[in-house]
Structure 1
């Protein structure tokens, strides 16, 4: 899942979508629009630095379910 280390915590598009309560397609659109940055690892794998995402979008607040 997450890889922690000196360079931060890297997560998948699906994990960011789950954190923010949106569809993975929305996260992909944010990347394409330049709202958040992503790193391509290999030919298909994309990872996002979670702290960078938080700085750009803010930390999500828990919703009352």
Structure 2
């Protein structure tokens, strides 16, 4: 059976923050430091790879909220 609502390949920093239970500011910092993979869209927008969020959760690397 196929999944009716598959997870998106990328999420916004706010969505990633909710998944990790950290602040969006921390998500952006993790992206800049290379702890989360993603892509930049234009000059300001970023999208975080869902697989990268899942890997961070699996590693238990999330930090307390700012």
TM-score after normalising by structure 1: 0.66
Mapping of 1:19-38 within 5 angstroms?
19-38=19-38
- Alignment partners' CA distance in 1, 2:31 and 2:45: 14
Instruction: Please give the root-mean-square deviation of Cα atoms over the aligned residues, in Å.
Output: 2.2
Tell me which of the two structures has the higher relative contact order, counting C-alpha pairs closer than 8 angstroms and 6 or more residues apart: 2
Gaps of 5+ in 1: 61-65
List 4+ stretches of structure 1 deviating above 6 A. none
TM-score after normalising by structure 2: 0.66
Question: How many residues end up aligned between the 2 structures?
Answer: 54
Corresponding position of 2:41: 41
Contact 2:20 2:53 in 1 (8 A): no
Gaps of 5+ in 2: 1-5, 61-66
